[in-house]
Structure 1
Amino acid sequence: MRNFDFSPLYRHAIGFDRLFNLADSNLTKSTNGYPPYNIEQKDEHNYRITMAVAGFSEDEVTLTQNQNTLIVSAKLKSNEDSKNYLYQGIAERNFERKFQLADYVNVASANMKNGLLHIELVREVPEESQPKKISISNE
Structure 2
Amino acid sequence: MDESLFKKNSSSKSGITSCCKKCHNLAEVRADRSEYQKRYRAANASRLNEYLRNRYSAKHESYVEYRKANKEAIRAAQQERYCKNHEEILRRQRGYAKQSREGLADSYIRRVLIVGTSLSSSDVPQILVQLKRLEMLIKKTVEDEANEKC
More helix by share: 2
* TM-score of the pair, normalised by structure 2: 0.19
Higher relative contact order (CA 8 A, sep 6+): 1
Name the TM-score, length of structure 1 as normaliser. Answer: 0.19
**Higher strand fraction: Structure 1 or Structure 2?**
1
